[in-house]
């Protein structure tokens, strides 16, 4: 089940259809049925031209993401094995296009990012769903916030780390003459901030990343500064960028299925996984009689990764997420005051986040979108 058929959801739908699997039943869920019918029709038509349309696709185009009961009824109707939340309060608007050039921080948008996520997970509980859940928007803080508030929370987050790994592989492969980039094994622990600053500017803002790169079991001894600088490659700034996030979602789904089907261990990188702040390497282990999953601590300890992620997300404007409260950094609060003439609260409680949503929408998004 894909909830939200914007560009991320549409790319993901196309990638999943491309598996040409007749056992795969895809359900797309959203609020605009007419648009969704058009989008599904173009995916179905293109897949048929390629000769790979073998999956069933259903459309639920009248699901109100503001209403838990509406979402719950949809989940009950289909009992999905996977639920991917790719919805956004403002479809087609990249919040970072407003904030990055002024604030160099994305964490300000966390209350908006959690808005539909909390409704979906409450509906998930109401429906007694057992689906594996994946969240798309700012999972570094959204999933930990849900967990800290005692709410149901997503299993995985997508994006961020996965956008950096290919760029690093491009450089390492070219530098060391490696043709098969899949043979390059990267382990990285960092938050959304470093995905953005490394990919845009080619540096880590003065921090040393927890980064390990191996080939054929041996560490690739390349200067981290060179690797990060090489990540600054020309990329589109429009919705085509969402190919990366959709691919991250696809990778999570496919990795789970592959680990189970081939009885192997597969490493993924995921922000917010298990409700942890920031992004981590994570193992899906299908090698035994029972499928398990756990953090990859073969290179870096959990303590080291937690510390690195807290330092990383601090630069994104998040001081902490604890006991149902999100704490903005003093630096972000001051930047917002200067740039947008808005005084953010230092603490946002999960139960009253709608008030901050209204501030962000009325004072920042509406005047700048």
Write down the pTM of the prediction: 0.96
* Burial class for 358, CB neighbours closer than 10 Å (0-12, 13-18, 19+): exposed
Least confident of 55-69, 81-95, 129-143, 314-328: 81-95
Least confident of 1-15, 79-93, 188-202, 226-240: 79-93
Cβ-defined contacts of 261-270 (< 8 Å, 24+): 261/286, 262/286, 263/287, 267/185, 267/187, 267/296, 268/156, 269/161, 269/162, 269/165, 269/188, 270/139, 270/156, 270/157, 270/158, 270/161
- Residues 236-261, mean pLDDT to the nearest whole number: 94
Q: What is the C-alpha end-to-end distance of the chain, expressed in Å?
A: 30
- Residues 344-366, mean pLDDT to the nearest whole number: 90
Predicted pLDDT at 250? 98
Contact status, residue 61 vs residue 36, Cβ threshold 8 Å: yes
- Chain centroid to Cα 337, Å, comes to 28
Q: Could you tell me which of 134, 127, 12, 135 has the C-alpha nearest to residue 70?
A: 127
Least confident of 71-75, 80-84, 117-121, 349-353: 349-353
Predicted pLDDT at 100? 82
B/e letters for 43-59, b = 16+ CB within 10 Å, e = fewer, are bbeebeeeeebebebeb
| Neighbouring residues of 137: CB distance < 8 A, sequence distance ≥ 6 | 85, 86, 87, 88, 113, 117
Task: Kindly calculate the radius of gyration of the chain based on its CA atoms and give it in whole angstroms.
Answer: 20
User: In the predicted model, is pLDDT for residue 237 greater than 60?
Assistant: yes
Predicted pLDDT at 58? 98
> Mean of the per-residue pLDDT values for the chain?
95
252: three-class secondary structure by DSSP: helix
Predicted pLDDT at 94? 66
Residue 251 parent element (H or E): helix 242-262
Which token pair is 199? 């990919």
User: In the predicted model, is pLDDT for residue 12 greater than 60?
Assistant: yes
Predicted pLDDT at 91? 61
- Chain centroid to Cα 252, Å, comes to 10
Predicted pLDDT at 101? 80
Strands (E), 220-287: 265-271, 279-285
Predicted pLDDT at 354? 87
Q: Could you tell me which of 52, 57, 61 has the C-alpha nearest to residue 13?
A: 57
How wide is the angle at C-alpha 136 spanned by C-alphas 131 and 140, nearest 5°?
Answer: 105
Predicted pLDDT at 95? 67
Q: How far apart are CA 243 and CA 225, in angstroms?
A: 27
Residue 29 parent element (H or E): strand 25-29
Predicted pLDDT at 110? 95
Predicted pLDDT at 288? 93
Model confidence over 271-310: pLDDT tens digits?
999 999 999 999 999 999 999 999 999 999 999 999 999 9
Percentage of residues in the chain with pLDDT exceeding 90?
Answer: 88
Predicted pLDDT at 219? 96
Predicted pLDDT at 90? 64
User: In the predicted model, is pLDDT for residue 92 greater than 60?
Assistant: no
Percentage of residues in the chain with pLDDT exceeding 70?
Answer: 98
- Residues 250-268, mean pLDDT to the nearest whole number: 96
């Amino acid at each position: 089940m894909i909830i939200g058929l914007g560009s991320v959801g549409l790319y993901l739908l196309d990638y999943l259809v491309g598996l040409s699997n007749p056992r795969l039943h895809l359900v797309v869920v959203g609020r605009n049925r007419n648009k969704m019918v058009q989008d599904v029709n173009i995916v179905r038509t293109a897949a048929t031209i390629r000769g790979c349309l073998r999956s069933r696709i259903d459309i639920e185009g009248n699901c109100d993401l503001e209403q838990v009961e509406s979402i719950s009824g949809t989940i009950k109707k289909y009992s999905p094995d996977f639920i991917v939340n790719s919805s956004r309060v403002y479809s087609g608007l990249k919040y970072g296009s407003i904030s990055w050039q002024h604030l160099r921080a994305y964490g300000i948008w966390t209350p908006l990012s959690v808005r539909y996520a909390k409704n979906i997970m409450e509906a998930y509980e109401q429906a007694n769903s057992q689906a594996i859940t994946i969240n798309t928007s700012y999972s570094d803080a959204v999933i930990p916030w849900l967990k800290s508030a005692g709410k149901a929370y997503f299993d995985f987050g997508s994006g961020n780390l996965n956008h950096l790994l290919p760029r690093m592989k491009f450089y390492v492969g070219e530098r060391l003459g490696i043709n098969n980039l899949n043979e390059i094994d990267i382990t990285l622990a960092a938050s959304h901030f470093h995905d953005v600053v490394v990919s845009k500017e080619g540096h880590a803002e003065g921090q040393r990343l927890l980064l390990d790169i191996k080939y054929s079991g041996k560490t690739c001894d390349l200067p981290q500064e060179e690797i990060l600088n090489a990540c600054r490659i020309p990329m589109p700034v429009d919705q085509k960028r969402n190919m990366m996030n959709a691919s991250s979602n696809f990778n999570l789904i496919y990795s789970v299925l592959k680990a189970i089907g081939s009885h192997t261990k597969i490493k993924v990188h995921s922000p917010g996984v298990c409700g942890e702040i920031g992004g981590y390497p994570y193992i899906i282990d299908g090698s035994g009689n029972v499928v398990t999953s756990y953090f990859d601590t073969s290179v870096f300890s959990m303590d080291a990764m937690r510390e690195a992620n807290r330092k990383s997300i601090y630069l994104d404007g998040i001081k902490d997420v604890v006991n149902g409260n999100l704490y903005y950094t003093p630096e972000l609060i001051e930047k917002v005051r200067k740039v947008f003439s808005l005084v953010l609260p230092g603490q946002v409680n999960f139960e009253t986040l709608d008030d901050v949503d209204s501030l962000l929408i009325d004072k920042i998004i509406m005047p700048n979108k």
